[in-house]
Amino acid sequence: MRNAPLALSLDLIARAHAVPVPDDAAALQVMTDEELKPALDAIIAQRAGGGDLWVFAYGSLMWRPEFDFAESRIGTVRGFHRRFCLLQRRFRGTPERPGFVLALDRGGACRGVAFRLPGTDLRETLMPVWRREMRGRGYVARWLPVATEAGTVSALTFLVNRDSDRYSGRLTEPEIADRIATACGHLGPSAEYLFRTVEACEALGIRDRHLWTLQALVADRLRAGEAGADAP
């Protein structure tokens, strides 16, 4: 059975965040490719055996992978769950109004997409996704088993870095929704990131109560903001 129609929409988000937000490079210092290479080499060295190269996606990588892939499969990682627990003070938020992005935190399970990447040079193949996920120091990388209908694969997976000052801990969903509703960075609103992830999960047949609850809560907050602005 499919969920009810989404309460959140791109139109609602655009009305709430109509004013562009300039980039502030000081809000989050990102690592250079040279700084990223040692950890990338280390994770490549930890890869067991040869065979196909896989990356597990559970958030924006599902709808904007930005890498070539030869195959995709719906799969499940066990021992970690998808949650908005990583603060975003740049890109989708500001220091004054930080947003959230998704990460995998301890416990439970997560359904997402396993992508098989072509190419024989592992560093060259992985650097684009490594740069995107690791330059902000919010994640740690692990090779995790992903169960798919066609068998289990070992995939590079990005977990939340609990030692990072961006890790929020386990806030309540209303607290998370408060921040997502108000946050916007130069790449767009935090609510758009939420919407596109929910939209991707719906299209793939992935059910996630956390995402579904949050999109309804954020929609309520955006509509309440409109009603307040229209009040005499």
Give the integer Cα–Cα distance in Å for 147 and 156.
Answer: 13
Which 8-state DSSP code applies to residue 60? H
Tell me which of 49 and 128 has the higher pLDDT: 128
For residue 61, pLDDT over 70 is answered with yes
Rounded to 10°, the helix 190-204/209-230 angle is 140
Averaged pLDDT score across all residues of the chain: 94
Tell me the pLDDT tens digit for each residue of 25-60.
999 999 999 999 999 999 999 998 778 999 999 999
Please, are residues 183 and 21 in contact by the beta-carbon 8 Å criterion?
Answer: no
Token pair for 137: 């120091």
Query: Could you list the active site residues?
Result: 133
Which domains occur in the chain, in start order? 10-224 (3.10.490.10)
Residue 96's contacts (CB-CB under 8 Å, 6 or more residues apart) are: none
Q: Give the pLDDT score at 230.
A: 63
Which residues, in sequence order, are bridge partners of residue 189? Answer: 184
What sign does the dihedral 48-72-81-132 (CA atoms) show?
A: positive
Tell me, what amino acid is at 120?
T
Tell me, what amino acid is at 193?
Y
Band the pLDDT of 201: cuts 50, 70, 90.
very high
Which residues, in sequence order, are bridge partners of residue 140? Answer: 159
For residue 2, pLDDT over 90 is answered with no
CA proximity to 183, closest of 102, 86, 88? 88
Token pair for 203: 């299209």
CA proximity to 158, closest of 176, 135, 179, 175? 135
Please, are residues 153 and 54 in contact by the beta-carbon 8 Å criterion?
Answer: yes
pTM, to two decimals: 0.94
For residue 3, pLDDT over 80 is answered with no
CB burial of residue 70 (10 Å; 0-12, 13-18, 19+): exposed
Q: What size, in residues, is the chain?
A: 232
